[in-house]
Structure 1
Amino acid sequence: MTGMTENILEETCLYWLEELGWNTSHGPDIAPDTPDAERDSYSDVILKERLRASLSQINPDVPAVGIDEAVKKLLVTDSPDLLVNNRNFHRFLTDGVDVEVPSNDEYGGTKHLKVWLVDIDDIENNDWLALNQLTVIEKSVAGQSEVNRRTDVVLYLNGLPIAVLELKNPGDENATIKHAYNQLQTYKKDIPSLFTTNELLVISDGILARSGTLTSGWDRYMPWRTVSGEEVAPKGTPELETLVRGLFERRYFLDYILNFVVFEDDGATLIKKAAAYHQYWAVNKALACTLSACGIDGDPTKLIGRFPKEQDPWEGREDSLIYGKGTKHFDGKRIGVVWHTQGSGKSLSMTFYSGKVVRHPDMGNPTLVIITDRNDLDDQLFGTFANCKDLLRQSPVQAGNRSHLRELLKVASGGIVFTTIQKFMPDERGDVHPLLSARNNIVVIADEAHRSQYDFIDGFARHLHDALPNASFIGFTGTPIESDDRSTPAVFGDYIDKYDILRAVEDGATVPIYYESRLARIELSEARLSEIDPEFEHITEAEEETGKQKLKTKWAALEAMVGADDRIKLVVRDLVAHFEKRLDTMDGKAMIVCMSRRICVDIYNALKEIRPDWHSDDESEGFMKIVMSGSASDHIDWQPHIRNKAGREDLAKRFKDPGNGLKLVIVRDMWLTGFDCPSMHTMYVDKPMSGHNLMQAIARVNRVFRDKPGGLVVDYIGLADSLKKALANYTASGGRGDATIDQEQAAAVLMEKYEVVRDMMHGFDYHAVIEDIPAKRISGITQAMEFILGQDDGKKRYLPAVSTLTKAFALAVPHEKAIQIRDEVGFFQEVRAALVKTTGDEQGRTPDEIDSAIKQLVSRAVASTEVVDIFEAAGMDKPDISILSDEFLEEVKALPQKNLALELLKKLINDEIKTRSKKNVIQARSFAKMLELAVKKYQNRAIEAAEIIQELIELARELRKSEQRGDSLGLTEDEVAFYDALADNGSAKDMIGDEKLRTIAQLLVDRVKRSVSIDWTLRENARAQIRVMVKRILRQYGYPPDLQKAATELVIEQAEVLCKEWSVE
């Protein structure tokens, strides 16, 4: 029975695409110099004739000269930067290509036309093609040589390579999805022309499947969990099939690449982002609800891709429809609420939604009003939209004050306006806000739509309704609406879509949050806090806005208690020790949340006293900073920490940069919502918070970053009850998953994983090694390696067990249990690293782990510069297999650690066999079989360790001798490879003699080398021609007829491994 292979996976993928309406073909069938060639050379990645034919069909009113100009613009790139070229192409895709053609009038002038690249009105009018095994050859970056790459599956839309799928063999445990990701990174570097028009990248090993963009890091490749958007595919469903059927259904795919791909440009960095499945489906549901709420009988599934329309779809309609009068009555115009858990891309979802609404033809150039309840949140969200203006086809505008807002909203149509809710105050208290616009195509989008944010009962929301009586309302929130909140649904409506913590963590959109109470450490009990009136929680985020003096007084009393000097010293002393232990284990950032600006400054000063090197007067330097607003009238001691908007933005850039030395920020309320710093893994909370505000704040640490296993919230104020209440509301709203996980659970998991590794070390006194001097410790590590290797599948079990333990340790530290076993975990890691380096393992430490967030523990007993090298520890020089000396082999044989000696020899021989297999298939296969038989005898206990070591030493000597065979035979390296293929059957050599075999080998190298072409191995007609040629030569020189078939196949197989090198020469 044939197992699953990469080729079968490719064919399966093409089958699914064919069912979805894509045409499929084999890449070599359209290669240059074939009967059905569609490429002039292997460097051509755009199928020019398909492109030209498609553009002519889609744009029948554009003359041929205009089509030719559009094709030329698509073929020529303007920049050496792939991402810049890709962005230019995306603009062509969404906005069309501008061309100039003769006007054919009496004046002989020219006119400007648009050439559209896709037909959004009739998807069948597009050319859909999926190819597998497409070979691309490009000049290397240095231009000195050519690079030959063969892709798995490439999807073409109207002749343009729009998506690339890299697949790995599901039957090979070493062919992982991570290897597929790494291969795409190599392709981007080696054959960038294939990616100039790319919109989507997919990686899969047949089991897992992820999609991303040109700039997506490994941690941002996301799954696609649904085909229709109605339900998530059940666990166990093949992820690749769900992704292909859900994302590459042709109508969905067009919608996706036109409306759900965005280039975020902040002026310094350009990032390409694409929607995750929950964003795609939520936005489309929200669009349907929007059309309904606006009283528009439009089609929510209509593809949008051309903007602006020449014809205004609202032109000529009755005022009763546009202004909501007459027969249609829009009471409330409630669109609904999108609840997507914090950290799962809410701001980007709002951007995608806005892009679709403003460009939907049935909306008639609407006005969007995006409201927040704080200036800093308004700035953050505005920044996201401003960075995505390509998608929105316009630049959003931020209202500076009330008069500016009124001016912006009195326009006849269009515009994306950002404002805080407070700017909807009337001129005088108690007045009714003046009418600004009665248009029906105004959509109000509220960020974090909650009663506590907007005072919907009798406050700002009423003024908003007075100003825009026919507007429709939609809310986006990262936390559920409180169960007793009746006013928020009354304004916005019911939930449109939910994406909860459980799904976000399962999808890898966020990481889990762990909770640790440190109250006992600072001797401040929750009972003391309960003395303060519970009402304090309602003013935690809006001190300046409240007019309730009673609450201000309560807050001041609590602030005085929390900010007492002796308490601050206790908190800071504990915090420093805690954070330094965290940084020992996992690189990243932290945030301290304080009750007041005064406490922020006092905390800073206390930190500075303990760790003076953390402070710097230089704005561009320093380990820590305070982020807060203020004015010249504030206390003189606060002034160094008060910055203008630009200064705070510079700090944000420093803090968000994982490599920047700014590791710790102190805030009161800034950066607690809407602020993304993925590398931040710890939040120290010393401020009372509850409900929505608490959930929003702690979510700052749930962002995905490299291999960060989770975030940690450290409680110095007593948040336990508030968290329980928030979680109760979350669950009552239908949310699944824990908002936070108690740190004790992380410690329990750590101890469980620790026991697994410790059990594997049972019988080996590793404690003595840990406590020994560094020089002897290295020897102890080799003994530990020997101990592990002596167990059944010891290495195979040990490597993943220590990896799991390392992540569990990073989550639990600095829990006391973690600190107690720190040195043991460090030792286990050292043994693992030495095993990977010395014996080699595909599942060992990858290049990405070197750039890992989780640090390898450096034991207190070993200097950080010491690296375990088994050869050095054994007093041996590191060998080169090609000159493997008898002296070295004897040294290996004399090693006291026999299991380690065996692993060393296996690795050295295996590496050499892999190298040989790229040149001489038969020889490599022979040595691999010898190695396999020897190891099998040892595993079956047929021979002892000393005996197999002797066998492997003899095998290594044979490998060394085999390099000289060409000299003795009078053949080149390539000729020896063909000679071995012909002589594989010993009787052939006996029957026709060694001289004839050498002659045939020389002739075959010459003839085959001149006959092969690129992709010949994939084209059956080319393979057949070479097979005929080989058989003719074998017959000509009297090769035994009954052996010719087998010999021919071996020659073809040998030619395949050499053809790549030959075809580029």
Structure 2
Amino acid sequence: LFQKTAFKDRCALVTSYNPQARDITLEDTGANTETEKESIYNIYIALLKDVVAEPSKTKTETYEDKVKELFKTQPANMRLLIVVDKLLTGFDAPPCTYLYIDKSMQDHGLFQAICRTNRLDGEDKPFGYIVDYKDLFKKVQGAMAVYTSELDHTGGESPEILLQDRLKKGKERLDQALESMALLCEPVQPPRGELEHIHYFCGNTELVDDLKEHEPQRVALYKSTAALMRAYASIADDLPDAGYTEAQVAGINGDLNSYLKLREIIRQASGETIDLKAYEADMRHLIDTYIEADEPRKISDFGEIGLLDLIVKSGIADAINSLPKGIKGDKRAVAETIANNVRSKVIKERLSDPAYYDKMSALLNEVLADLKAQRISYEEFLKRIAEIAKNVQAGKSDETPAKLNTPAKRALFNNLNGNEELALKIDGTVRQVKPNAFRGNQAKENVIKAALMGLLGNDPDEVERVFLIITAQKEY
């Protein structure tokens, strides 16, 4: 049933059952219907159809280990586990937020079950939820009383274990999340438009290190927005019952929309287009469900492609047109967004080729200074920044010699004063002598350094400098 809903490929079954052909050999009644045993067997066979058993494991064990790991580490990609008589002990999954109970339980077993949701998982999970289909509330209180009575209370305060009202706690959580977002954005300078927010969260594009130094503000924004979205989603269908008036609900919806748009603008303006990976699908689902249910959309208009890729593949005009409305309508915001995306790429790749990316950074500073001083027009700026973006994304310029056909060869060439012959010799030598898994192993690293010594004039400092570039190359 769940495979026909939004849970398709994101839910799994974990039980003690392991399908065997003998389970159904005596089940054929001749009727055109499945018996219960046949139904269970066929469900499991369908679940395990594409599973390849790992060494020393059955297909069922392989399947269960995989889905449990996904549930713990990628909750957006495994959102629901249906469990029968398993995982009460030895299973720790902090992302688990909801427990649905449809089985009569009591005492220690019941307490173990409800404890599956009590692990904190970051700032946006202060507590877990229990959905009880068996009217076990009094039994839960009893199980907790038994548990706390067995604890040693000497030398400290009594433990406080509480069952609390979902809507009351949900309202507190949502109010706190809204307040946190307001406080986070409070330092933004008037008139508090998109450009002012870009300045606060991304810094000054003319300062080389400013984008990196403003990273804590951006991280706080992303985390706070996710916390707000999840706080809202937990009581979205019950806002009036939680105590909000109609006007307050409208205000909350408006604030949430504004913060989500701001999150997107800052992500694009900073070049951080890949967001949270495993959790991104979860954010898409929440936004499409509660914010734009009529028009589902991706979190990012770019999907998996970044702004620099768009500039290279589609041209500067199409790339600008793909930016959020709050950016593309402001020339300064466009300029700073493209500059920040270039700067972000330079920072990320610099260790692999310091000379080349330092040159690109200098060109970026130059074109920004020319634009600010009005020595060039906005159109000329776009033309020049597009060329820089293309070279930064490619990791090479059009003048690069043809023989330098790998990133490693180009990095050596750029950092050896353009000495093509020496770059090719060093590349060949490294490929010939490098031991497997040499990084971090002093003895293996020394093998490469010894081979470089003669090529670099027996200069230990130069060997160390070039070796750092070599270790940054993925192809070695």
2:454 corresponds in structure 1 to: 1032
Structure 2 stretches lacking a partner, 5+ long: 1-48, 74-81, 93-97, 151-157, 202-213
Among 728, 750, 754, the alignment partner of 2:178 is: 754
1:799 corresponds in structure 2 to: 222
1:303 corresponds in structure 2 to: none
User: Considering only aligned residues, what root-mean-square deviation do their CA atoms show, in Å?
Assistant: 5.7
Structure 1 stretches lacking a partner, 5+ long: 1-78, 92-195, 197-211, 222-263, 278-342, 348-375, 381-446, 450-475, 480-497, 516-589, 594-670, 674-689, 697-726, 766-782, 872-876, 984-993, 1036-1040
Contact 1:746 1:811 in 2 (8 A): yes
Among 264, 267, 277, the alignment partner of 1:836 is: 267
1:903 corresponds in structure 2 to: 337
Among 822, 825, 829, the alignment partner of 2:256 is: 825
CA distance in 2, matches of 1:1000, 1:86: 51
Contact 1:802 1:828 in 2 (8 A): yes
Q: What SS does structure 2 have at the residue aligned with 1:85?
A: coil
CA distance in 1, matches of 2:472, 2:447: 18
Among 159, 162, 179, the alignment partner of 1:738 is: 162
Matched, 1:504 2:146: no
Matched, 1:850 2:281: yes
Using a 3 Å threshold, how does the CA distance of structure 1 residues 784 and 213 change in structure 2: closer, same or farther?
A: farther
Q: What SS does structure 1 have at the residue aligned with 2:162?
A: coil
Higher relative contact order (CA 8 A, sep 6+): 2
Q: What SS does structure 1 have at the residue aligned with 2:55?
A: helix
CA distance in 2, matches of 1:1006, 1:502: 55
In the TM superposition, what is the alpha-carbon distance from 1:842 to its structure 2 partner? Answer: 7.8
1:810 corresponds in structure 2 to: 233
CA distance in 1, matches of 2:99, 2:301: 45
1:275 corresponds in structure 2 to: 90
Amino acid at match of 1:819: V
2:356 corresponds in structure 1 to: 923
Q: What SS does structure 1 have at the residue aligned with 2:460?
A: helix
CA distance in 2, matches of 1:922, 1:899: 29
In the TM superposition, what is the alpha-carbon distance from 1:789 to its structure 2 partner? Answer: 1.4
Matched, 1:478 2:136: no
Using a 3 Å threshold, how does the CA distance of structure 1 residues 1023 and 925 change in structure 2: closer, same or farther?
A: farther
1:786 corresponds in structure 2 to: 195
Contact 2:88 2:113 in 1 (8 A): no
Contact 2:177 2:227 in 1 (8 A): yes
In the TM superposition, what is the alpha-carbon distance from 1:864 to its structure 2 partner? Answer: 0.9
**CA displacement, residues 779-813 of structure 1 (integer Å, 9 cap, x when unaligned):** xxxx9543421336564543333222212212333
Q: What SS does structure 1 have at the residue aligned with 2:200?
A: coil
Amino acid at match of 1:1023: E
Using a 3 Å threshold, how does the CA distance of structure 1 residues 742 and 838 change in structure 2: closer, same or farther?
A: same
Contact 1:1011 1:1026 in 2 (8 A): yes
CA distance in 1, matches of 2:56, 2:233: 39
Amino acid at match of 1:737: I
CA distance in 1, matches of 2:145, 2:373: 61
Amino acid at match of 1:748: E
2:76 corresponds in structure 1 to: none
CA distance in 1, matches of 2:320, 2:232: 42
Matched, 1:692 2:148: no
Matched, 1:975 2:393: no
In the TM superposition, what is the alpha-carbon distance from 1:902 to its structure 2 partner? Answer: 0.7
Q: What SS does structure 2 have at the residue aligned with 1:791?
A: helix
1:392 corresponds in structure 2 to: none
Contact 1:215 1:272 in 2 (8 A): no
2:470 corresponds in structure 1 to: 1055
Instruction: Indicate the structure with greater strand content.
Output: 1
**CA displacement, residues 217-259 of structure 1 (integer Å, 9 cap, x when unaligned):** 45536xxxxxxxxxxxxxxxxxxxxxxxxxxxxxxxxxxxxxx
Using a 3 Å threshold, how does the CA distance of structure 1 residues 755 and 89 change in structure 2: closer, same or farther?
A: closer
1:458 corresponds in structure 2 to: none
CA distance in 1, matches of 2:328, 2:282: 38
Contact 2:449 2:467 in 1 (8 A): yes
1:166 corresponds in structure 2 to: none
Contact 1:882 1:960 in 2 (8 A): yes
CA distance in 2, matches of 1:848, 1:214: 18
Matched, 1:864 2:295: yes
Q: After superposition, where does 1:521-920 map in structure 2 within 5 Å?
A: 671=134, 691-692=138-139, 736-741=160-165, 743-758=167-182, 760=185, 785-791=194-200, 795-813=218-236, 814-816=238-240, 817=244, 819-820=249-250, 821-837=252-268, 839-841=270-272, 844-851=275-282, 855-856=286-287, 863-865=294-296, 880-882=310-312, 896-911=330-345, 914=348, 920=353
**CA displacement, residues 335-373 of structure 1 (integer Å, 9 cap, x when unaligned):** xxxxxxxx999x9xxxxxxxxxxxxxxxxxxxxxxxxxx
Amino acid at match of 2:168: E
CA distance in 1, matches of 2:268, 2:450: 47
Amino acid at match of 1:504: N
Structure 1 range deviating more: 729-738 or 957-966: 729-738
Using a 3 Å threshold, how does the CA distance of structure 1 residues 881 and 506 change in structure 2: closer, same or farther?
A: closer
CA distance in 1, matches of 2:127, 2:384: 54
Using a 3 Å threshold, how does the CA distance of structure 1 residues 852 and 1002 change in structure 2: closer, same or farther?
A: closer
Q: What SS does structure 2 have at the residue aligned with 1:739?
A: coil
**CA displacement, residues 909-965 of structure 1 (integer Å, 9 cap, x when unaligned):** 5336646765x354235545776x789x99xxxx96989999997566456565223
Contact 2:355 2:415 in 1 (8 A): yes
In the TM superposition, what is the alpha-carbon distance from 1:845 to its structure 2 partner? Answer: 4.4
In the TM superposition, what is the alpha-carbon distance from 1:841 to its structure 2 partner? Answer: 3.0
In the TM superposition, what is the alpha-carbon distance from 1:862 to its structure 2 partner? Answer: 8.8
Amino acid at match of 1:736: E
**CA displacement, residues 299-353 of structure 1 (integer Å, 9 cap, x when unaligned):** xxxxxxxxxxxxxxxxxxxxxxxxxxxxxxxxxxxxxxxxxxxx999x9xxxxxx
Contact 1:898 1:945 in 2 (8 A): no
Give the count of matched residue pairs. Answer: 367
Q: Percent same amino acid among aligned pairs?
A: 11
Matched, 1:448 2:106: yes
Contact 1:975 1:1002 in 2 (8 A): yes
In the TM superposition, what is the alpha-carbon distance from 1:855 to its structure 2 partner? Answer: 0.9
In the TM superposition, what is the alpha-carbon distance from 1:501 to its structure 2 partner? Answer: 6.3
CA distance in 2, matches of 1:764, 1:826: 20
CA distance in 1, matches of 2:374, 2:328: 10
Amino acid at match of 2:199: G
Using a 3 Å threshold, how does the CA distance of structure 1 residues 952 and 1016 change in structure 2: closer, same or farther?
A: farther
Amino acid at match of 2:222: L
Instruction: Indicate the structure with greater helix content.
Output: 2
Using a 3 Å threshold, how does the CA distance of structure 1 residues 966 and 916 change in structure 2: closer, same or farther?
A: farther
Using a 3 Å threshold, how does the CA distance of structure 1 residues 953 and 1005 change in structure 2: closer, same or farther?
A: same
Contact 1:881 1:912 in 2 (8 A): no
Contact 2:350 2:358 in 1 (8 A): no
Task: Please report the TM-score for the alignment, with normalisation by the length of structure 1.
Answer: 0.28
CA distance in 2, matches of 1:87, 1:913: 45
Q: What SS does structure 1 have at the residue aligned with 2:454?
A: helix
Q: What SS does structure 2 have at the residue aligned with 1:864?
A: coil
1:1022 corresponds in structure 2 to: 444
Matched, 1:1046 2:461: yes
Amino acid at match of 1:1061: E
CA distance in 2, matches of 1:1033, 1:514: 65
Amino acid at match of 1:448: Q
**CA displacement, residues 1023-1061 of structure 1 (integer Å, 9 cap, x when unaligned):** 2232222221233xxxxx6xx333212322232233x52
**CA displacement, residues 403-436 of structure 1 (integer Å, 9 cap, x when unaligned):** xxxxxxxxxxxxxxxxxxxxxxxxxxxxxxxxxx
In the TM superposition, what is the alpha-carbon distance from 1:834 to its structure 2 partner? Answer: 4.4
In the TM superposition, what is the alpha-carbon distance from 1:829 to its structure 2 partner? Answer: 1.9
Using a 3 Å threshold, how does the CA distance of structure 1 residues 741 and 840 change in structure 2: closer, same or farther?
A: farther
1:216 corresponds in structure 2 to: 68
CA distance in 2, matches of 1:743, 1:904: 44
Q: What SS does structure 1 have at the residue aligned with 2:435?
A: coil
Task: Please report the TM-score for the alignment, with normalisation by the length of structure 2.
Answer: 0.56
Q: What SS does structure 2 have at the residue aligned with 1:965?
A: coil
